[in-house]
Amino acid sequence: MSQWIGTANQTYAPYAMEELRRLIEGVAFTQLAAGEVFLMTSPQSREETLQAILQQEPIFLRHVQPVDRTIEITGNANDLEQLSDMVRNAVLTFENKRVAVHIRRASKSEFVYSAADTKAVLDAVLDEIGAETVVQQPEVIIAIYAAVNQLFIGFGAPSDMLSDWPGGAVRFQREEGQVSRAKFKLLEAEREFGLNYAGYQNALDVGAAPGGWTSLLLERGLRVTAVDPAELHPSLMAYPTLTYLKRNASEVKFNASSFDLLVCDMSWSPMLMCKLVLDLEPALAKGATAIITVKLMHRKPLQTIRDVISRLSTEFSLQKAKQLFHNREEITLYLIKK
């Protein structure tokens, strides 16, 4: 048996739990933060459960942490003492390793210490036992979730938690003059799917306005054809590598194999989006990448996703489908043209 803390985007935890039920027979759940964080009890071992999750990663499970220790919250300094002792007792897990401490808390938790104060105390203990405390690229993460009256603590590699960010909440710094927050979505997709946009040459951005995704691709040195009847941000017009077609995407045609990357973040119904992407597919070179968001407009998102993937699978191979932290009522698909 093993226990885990699972996290999904707000309101989407029920779908993450449904996916986990299909993967692991006999799992049970307890809600910790409504629609977002839950405790999962698996009848399988930690290794078997993790293998099942990683082999067919759930779309709506943003982050998962094992529960290796549970501490009853007292609401005073005894909580930090117990956490410190726990780290000291696991010296062999952390010694000579790059270690990050991640702390999250439920809104009504009785744990009185801030994440910063808790991290400062545990970082001092880690230094004392010969670990290197880091924020980025850790080898081991100490993940702590402060529920109402319990601390759930787990140790593991970033890959075992699906993310190296606390709770999978990937944060990017907003830049001066940034065209739109949608840029964060494409940045997160690059990290999540192990891509490097600078390795592509010619991109087609469908439904580009106001130009958040176009701006990122231009900054990475790509030639970008942006299609949208609405206006692009004026700052993008300075790029000689931009071709802007102020038209509906359904009205444009391109030469065969013109692009090695297609991106699409349109607020269209899923089936209309599929038709549009499939109509534009001849313009993509064989092996081209497509990054597409699927808007979840209906009450059956899992069925919608299955229908979209089935429709697109005639011309594309799905590499991964994920609800990213920066997705809202949508998911992101990573596809390769067959």
Of 119, 183, 185, 295, the catalytic one is 295
Averaged over 69-89, what is the pLDDT? Answer: 94
Q: Reading across the β-sheet that carries 28-33, which strands appear in turn?
A: 28-33, 37-42, 2-7, 63-66
Q: What is the pLDDT of residue 249?
A: 87
Q: What is the pLDDT of residue 44?
A: 97
Pairing of strands 259-264, 316-322: unpaired
Give the separation between CA 289 and CA 336, rounded to whole angstroms.
5
Domain ranges (residues) in the chain: 2-168, 182-337
**pLDDT over 70 (residue 57):** yes
Taking the domain 2-168, which CATH number applies? 3.30.2130.30
User: Which helix (H) or strand (E) segment is 88 a member of?
Assistant: helix 78-89
Residue 180 CA, distance from chain mean position:
19
Categorize the per-residue pLDDT at 178 as very low, low, confident or very high, splitting at 50, 70 and 90: low
Whether the CB-CB separation of 282 and 255 falls below 8 Å is answered with no
Residue 72 structure tokens: 């009853």
- For 137, the 3-state DSSP assignment is coil
Q: Which CATH class is domain 182-337?
A: alpha beta
Give the separation between CA 57 and CA 23, rounded to whole angstroms.
9
Residue 49 structure tokens: 């459960």
Averaged over 229-233, what is the pLDDT? Answer: 91
Tens-place pLDDT, residues 281-332: 999 999 999 999 999 977 788 899 999 999 999 999 999 999 999 998 999 9
Catalytic residue flag (residue 246) = no
Q: Reading across the β-sheet that carries 140-146, which strands appear in turn?
A: 69-72, 150-156, 140-146, 98-105, 132-133
Q: What percent of the chain has pLDDT over 90?
A: 87
Give the separation between CA 3 and CA 35, rounded to whole angstroms.
19
| Residue 202 backbone phi and psi in degrees, to 5 | -125, 120
Q: What is the pLDDT of residue 70?
A: 95
Tens-place pLDDT, residues 202-211: 999 999 999 9
Q: What is the pLDDT of residue 298?
A: 72
Pairing of strands 202-206, 98-105: unpaired
Tens-place pLDDT, residues 107-123: 999 999 999 999 999 99
Whether the CB-CB separation of 223 and 201 falls below 8 Å is answered with yes
